[in-house]
Chain A
Amino acid sequence: MKITLKIWRQEKPSADGAMKTYALDDVSEDMSFLEMLDQLNEQLNNNGEEPVAFDSDCREGICGMCGLMINGQAHGPVQTTTCQLHMRSFKDGDTITVEPWRADAFPVLRDLCVDRGALDRMIQAGGYVSANTGSAPDAHATPVPKANADRAFEAATCIGCGACVAACPNASASLFVGAKITHLGELPQGQPERHTRVVGMVAQHDDEGFGGCTNIGECSAACPQEIPLDVISQLNKDLRNALRAGA
């Protein structure tokens, strides 16, 4: 099929960017969206034009490195990662707009690549269990009810891609923080630091320039891992409890 692409091009963080239009013939519906961009880059290279920079790594939907706004939707029309979106979701003759994640906390580095270091810094602010190597008791020492283990797992599947932030009109990272709070809060190992974790992560969230949550739910609707919106309720509840306890 034939596709027209409108792509954000920006040479460096400090440069002004602009949308550029490219025509691509001979796109197969079995291609992933990123393989289609590979083909565009091969074509640009042959024409002596610089390829479009975009991030991707595992290309199997789990590393969280890829992420594009496609026709205004984070990761495009299907609820999956950009690398798992296939061209069979588009039609011959379509025009597709491709932009980087849009959020103040994710500055553009070049073209479609952004800096998501803010997500790592929120983890540094408390998104862990302090358990030095070698200090652990036997794994069966503390049974965990299956329901709690399952909810912890569901929240822990977050891939840190940032789609929740990009989809949110406020550019809030509450789904990301809530997923971590829920993951560790459901497990006995996460209890000792439960209060300091939520206070630390929320403070970092606000310092990074992410917006506040107004319960719109775009984040969860765009999340390729389908992290449920109730992790944000959990986040708010944990934060209230922590603040009441004076953490």
Chain B
Amino acid sequence: MTQQKTTDTTPGTGPEMTQTIDRPDTTDPGARPDLRPGSGDAAGYFLEGVPIRDGKAPSGPISERWGARQFDARLVNPANRRKLSVIIVGTGLAGASAAATMGEQGYAVKAFFYQDSPRRAHSIAAQGGINAAKNYKGDGDSVHRLFYDTVKGGDYRSRESNVYRLAEVSVNIIDQCVAQGVPFAREYGGLLDNRSFGGVQVSRTFYARGQTGQQLLIGAYQALERQVGAGTVATYSRHEMLELVVVDGRARGIVARDLVTGAIETHLADAVVLASGGYGNVFYLSTNALGSNVTATWRAHRKGALFGNPCYTQIHPTCIPVSGDHQSKLTLMSESLRNDGRIWVPKNTEDREKDPREIPEEDRDYYLERIYPSFGNLVPRDIASRAAKYQCDEGKGVGPGGLGVYLDFADAIKRLGRPAVVTKYGNLFDMYSRITGEDPYATPMRIYPAVHYVMGGLWVDYDLQSSIPGLFVTGEANFSDHGANRLGASALMQGLADGYFVLPNTIRDYLADGPFEKITEANPAVVAAQQDVEQRIAKLMSVNGTRSVDSYHKELGHIMWEYCGMERSEEGLKKAVGMIRELREDFWRNVRILGSADSLNQALEKAGRVVDFLELGELMCIDALNRRESCGGHFRAESQTEDGEALRDDAGYSYVAAWEWGGEAGMPILHKEDLVYEFVEMKQRSYK
């Protein structure tokens, strides 16, 4: 399809593939006796490779593992650091914090971002808060409890060691941010305020009104700009990474396009860090920024980096419903609203069109409070989203198309008074009223679930290193800490944990072997990467068909939402794979991109991203098809309890699905990493 040459599929030197099997070659690619045809629902869609394990996984008491790893990771002499260069792609929380910290430590850092300023990265839009096990409220919180809640919330599909480390460094994040001048909410005594947040029963969420992500990102951004001023970090605004440069099995740089001039540039370094965020925009409509994309990680995947659990998608329960076909994005209303708002639908379908204020109490169904009495409106996101879908499927939904449920603040306004509600949620109410033209103080809001976050991402080991040596992945771009479902206020925690505290301490063990052999732009691997990019762009510009890039993106989004959204089935997923393949073919025959490649051309930028979404979407469906169980955000219709709750299959699927690129004409290759629980007992989640 593209003129990319097929990537070499020899197992990399990165992940330790446990060579436990010696099977006859049943699949033809003669060079790969390690492969066998996949089995199960996705048989015929994938090959299975040897299991994989995390070669850096620590052992011993869980509370000592991170300390031990930090001690074992080799140090780099301060005088040598400036000779070591690191490329960081993305300047959200996970990228800006890493760039600032590595700059402070004296490494030579280059930071790339497609926006015009590092402060625009989509972490800026996170509203609710950031978790930390400070136990400032004395309500029984601890590192161990945050660890436990996160493992449970992730539906037992994450690694214990990683999650424990996340909980452990969470406390340092708050200290660091306060020192930078992040204006968290405070109480009258001058101490920091906390609130409880979706899915937990302690108050461990720090916040800055409904703009916590903005304040944390500005903190990281200022630290980053300080390093730019100090000369340790160079920033490349309006630059998009389009290819990873791998030389002799190591990540050594990137090829990027200057989005203003169209120039294709090669940048080389000793290590590359991808902090490029999530790929929720594969659904076209999501709460992500319009430019959020999978290109950086997908291009690395095609160069050999394994992709972990691509189907794990978080659908957020409290978004503003779609108003029409013109819609370009969905807007999230922070789930902190669920602390005080009550969710309901009319009991009688004939009340759907009525003014909600005229529906008497006894004709309302507060279905979350009814079904989950102990958690009520605070059940985790996946459960709240599916519950809303089921109400709407039963014809009880409200608003346009019957795709909405009420989120009602009438009780809260009565109980707390309007001024208190304004203080807590004012900016969210304003946003709702601007978008919908309705007044949420007077009438209940309407909400509906929307794609918000992806737990899947590039596979990394405990050091956050991908299966390509020298390629590290942080934040939402990696798969590591949230299992099959992320708890509220944990994305900010993970992004900053990775960037401030984890990566700088693990990447030094890799850099201690550097500086690596100097390579030039004449190196054949570098030339090939650059040519691949140039040819891909030339091909996109030459199709000259009739359909806009957006129209393809929209169609892909419809397929993904319909068949790989809140509920997935074998039949639907198989259908989706076929539809995506057809759409991809049509794209390369019929897309129309006007203008030129050597200037600012936004249609061309989008086209490159949609090309990668079209490939990713297929892998997501195959991953979802293979995983015939329901866990976290992944709900398979075939795997549910009698009363319709998600049913996990620990015997069959307690593993990370790490996918290897199988080439454009080939099938993806599944490597399984077994998940072992030593400290948390695996239970069926219950929030009843």
List chain A positions with a Cβ less than 8 A from chain B: 11-12, 28, 30-32, 34-35, 38-39, 42, 45-46, 48-51, 53, 55-65, 78, 80, 84, 86, 88, 109-110, 113, 115-117, 119-120, 123-125, 127-140, 143-146, 149, 152-153, 156-157, 159-160, 183-184, 186-187, 189-190
Residue of A nearest to B436 (CB): A30
7 contacts between A and B (CB under 8 A): A38-B326, A45-B603, A58-B122, A62-B211, A120-B118, A124-B226, A133-B223
Q: A34-B328, A128-B222, A136-B176 are in contact. Are A42 and B550 (CB under 8 A)?
A: yes
Residues from chain B with a CB closer than 8 A to the CB of A145 are 186, 190
For A42, the closest partner residue in chain B by CB is: B548
With A60-B331, A110-B600, A133-B501 in contact, do A143 and B191 touch (Cβ < 8 Å)?
Answer: yes
Query: Which of B37-45, B455-463, B524-532, B591-599 binds A?
Result: B591-599
**Contact indicator B134/A184 (Cβ below 8 Å):** no
Write the chain A residue with the least CB distance to B504: A133
Q: CB-defined interface of B169-186 with A at 8 Å, one 1/0 digit per residue? A: 000101111111101111
- Residues of chain B within 8 A (CB-CB) of A64 are 117, 119-120, 124
Nearest-neighbour CB distance to chain A for B303, whole angstroms, equals 27
Q: In the complex, which residues 588-639 of chain B have their Cβ closer than 8 Å to any Cβ of chain A?
A: 592, 594-595, 599-603
Contact B326 A59 (CB under 8 A): no
B324 at the interface (CB under 8 A from A): yes
Shortest beta-carbon distance, A54 to chain B, in Å? 8
Contact partners of A124 in chain B: CB under 8 A: 225-226, 228-229
Q: Provided the pairs A35-B326, A57-B115, A62-B124 are in contact, do residues A135 and B179 lie with their beta carbons within 8 angstroms? A: yes
A30 touches B324 (CB 8 A): yes
Minimal beta-carbon separation of B226 from chain A (angstroms)? 4
User: Is A157 a contact of B211 with CB atoms below 8 Å?
Assistant: yes
Interface flag for B422 (CB, 8 Å): no
Bound state CA distance, A115 and B324, in angstroms?
33
Instruction: Assess the A28–B181 pair: CB atoms within 8 A.
Output: no
Q: How far is the CA of A90 from the CA of B74 in the complex (A)?
A: 62
CB-contacts of B316-351 with A (<8 A): 323-324, 326-329, 331-332
Q: How far is the CA of A115 from the CA of B190 in the complex (A)?
A: 40
Indicate which residue in A28, A78, A139 contacts B178 across the interface (CB closer than 8 Å). A139
A153 with B289: in contact, given A86-B435, A120-B118, A139-B134 (CB under 8 Å)? no
Docked pose: A153 CA to B185 CA in angstroms: 8
Query: DSSP majority for the A interface?
Result: loop
Measured between alpha carbons, how far is A184 from B548 in the docked complex, in Å? 46
Does any Cβ of A come within 8 Å of B247's Cβ?
A: no
Is B186's CB under 8 angstroms from A28's CB?
no
Decide: A84 near B600, CB < 8 A? Known: A63-B124, A130-B226. no
Distance in Å: Cβ of A4 to nearest Cβ of chain B: 19
Q: Judging by beta carbons under 8 Å apart, are A116 and B179 in contact?
A: no
Residues of B within 8 A of A123 (CB): 221-222, 225
Q: Is B136 an interface residue (CB 8 A)?
A: yes
Q: What is the CA–CA distance of A61 and B115 in the complex, to the nearest angstrom?
A: 15
Which B residues from 225 to 262 make CB contacts under 8 A with A?
225-226, 228-229, 235, 237, 260
Chain B residues near A51 (CB-CB < 8 A): 594-595, 602-603
Output the nearest chain A residue to B595 by Cβ-Cβ distance. A50
5 A-B pairs closest in CB distance: A143-B190, A136-B179, A128-B222, A124-B229, A153-B183
Separation of A56 and B114 alpha carbons in the complex (Å): 12
> Which one of B180, B229, B290 lies within 8 Å of A131 (CB-CB)?
B180
**A123 CB to closest chain B CB, in angstroms?**
4
Contacts of B290 in A (CB 8 A): 56-59
- The distance from the CB of A179 to the nearest CB of chain B, in whole angstroms, is 11
* Chain B residues engaging chain A, CB cutoff 8 angstroms: 97, 100-101, 104, 115-122, 124-125, 134, 136, 172, 174-181, 183-192, 208-209, 211, 214-215, 218, 221-223, 225-226, 228-229, 235, 237, 260, 287, 289-291, 323-324, 326-329, 331-332, 431, 434-435, 437, 500-501, 504, 548, 550-551, 592, 594-595, 599-603
Residue A187 contacts which of B183, B221, B328 (CB distance < 8 angstroms)? B183
Report the Cα distance A187→B179, complex, angstroms: 10
- Residues of the B chain whose Cβ atoms lie less than 8 Å from the Cβ of A34: 328
Contact between chains at A136 and B172 (CB < 8 Å): yes
Minimum CB–CB distance for A240 against chain B, Å: 22
Beyond A110-B260, A136-B172, A139-B134, 9 extra complex contacts between A and B, CB < 8 Å: A38-B326, A48-B594, A51-B602, A62-B124, A64-B124, A65-B120, A140-B136, A159-B124, A190-B181
User: Are A153 and B209 also in contact (CB < 8 A) when A80-B434, A146-B188 are?
Assistant: yes
Residues from chain A with a CB closer than 8 A to the CB of B592 are 45
Shortest A43–chain B CB gap in Å is 10
Q: Which residue of B lies closest to A44 (CB)?
A: B594
CB proximity of A213 to chain B, nearest CB, Å: 23
Residues of chain B lying within 8 A (CB to CB) of residue A183: 181, 183
A42→B550 CA distance, assembly (Å): 8
Out of B101, B237, B599, name the residue touching A11 (CB < 8 Å). B599
Q: B501 contacts A31, CB within 8 Å?
A: no
**Identity of the chain A residue whose Cβ is nearest the Cβ of B594 in the assembled complex:** A50
B327 touches A127 (CB 8 A): no
> Could you tell me if A45 and B548 are in contact, using CB atoms closer than 8 angstroms?
yes
Pairwise interchain contact A110-B599, C-beta atoms closer than 8 A? yes
Selected from A12, A137, A139, A187, the residue in CB contact (under 8 A) with B599 is: A12
Is A137 within 8 A of B179, CB to CB?
A: yes
Residues of chain B lying within 8 A (CB to CB) of residue A49 = 594
Once bound together, how far apart are the Cα atoms of A52 and B301, in whole Å? 33
Q: Find out whether the CB atom of B117 lies under 8 angstroms from the CB atom of A116.
A: yes
Query: Whole-angstrom distance between the alpha carbons of A35 and B179 in the complex?
Result: 40
Bound Cα distance from A58 to B435, whole angstroms: 14
Contact of B175 among A57, A129, A136, A186 (CB under 8 A): A136
- Does A152 contact B181, Cβ atoms closer than 8 Å? yes
Looking across the interface, which residue of chain B has its beta carbon closest to that of A138?
B175
Contact (Cβ within 8 A) B550 A38: yes
Contact of B600 among A61, A113, A129 (CB under 8 A): A113
CB distance from B133 to the nearest CB of A (A): 12
Q: How far is the CB of B399 from chain A (nearest CB, A)?
A: 12
Minimal beta-carbon separation of A129 from chain B (angstroms) = 5
For the complex, what is the distance from the CA of A212 to the CA of B222, rounded to whole Å?
A: 24
Whether A128 contacts B180 in the complex (CB less than 8 A), given A58-B125, A86-B434, A153-B215, comes out as yes
CA A125 to CA B332, docked complex, whole Å: 35
Instruction: Report B-chain residues with C-beta under 8 Å of the C-beta of A84.
Output: 431, 434-435
Kindly provide the distance from the CB of B580 to the nearest chain A CB, expressed in whole angstroms: 22
- Pairwise interchain contact B328-A32, C-beta atoms closer than 8 A: yes
Q: Is there an interface contact between A149 and B183, defined as CB atoms closer than 8 Å? A: yes
CB distance from B405 to the nearest CB of A (A): 20
When chains A and B are docked, how far (Å) is the Cα of A159 from the Cα of B215? 10
Most chain A CB neighbours (cut-off 10 Å) among B125, B183, B595: B183
How many Å from the CB of A8 to the closest CB on chain B?
14
Cα-based distance from A42 to B552 in the complex (angstroms):
12
Q: Is the CB of A156 within 8 A of B183?
A: yes
Q: Report A-chain residues with C-beta under 8 Å of the C-beta of B116.
A: 55, 65, 115-117
By beta carbon, the residue of chain A nearest B119 is A160
Contact A189 B180 (CB under 8 A): yes
In the assembled complex, how far is the CB of residue A38 from the closest CB belonging to chain B, in whole angstroms? Answer: 6
By a CB distance below 8 angstroms, the chain B residues around A156 are: 183, 208, 215, 218
Which residue on chain A has the smallest CB distance to residue B228? A124
* Inter-chain contacts of B223 with A (CB < 8 A): 128, 131, 133
A88 to B324, CA, bound (A): 14
Q: Return B595 CB to nearest CB of chain A, in Å.
A: 5
Contacts of B101 in A (CB 8 A): 132-133
Which of B118, B221, B326, B331 lies at the interface centre, i.e. has the most chain A CB atoms within 10 A of its CB? Answer: B326
Contact A60 B504 (CB under 8 A): no
Is B175 a contact of A128 with CB atoms below 8 Å?
Answer: no
Chain A positions within 8 Å of B186 at CB level: 143-146, 149
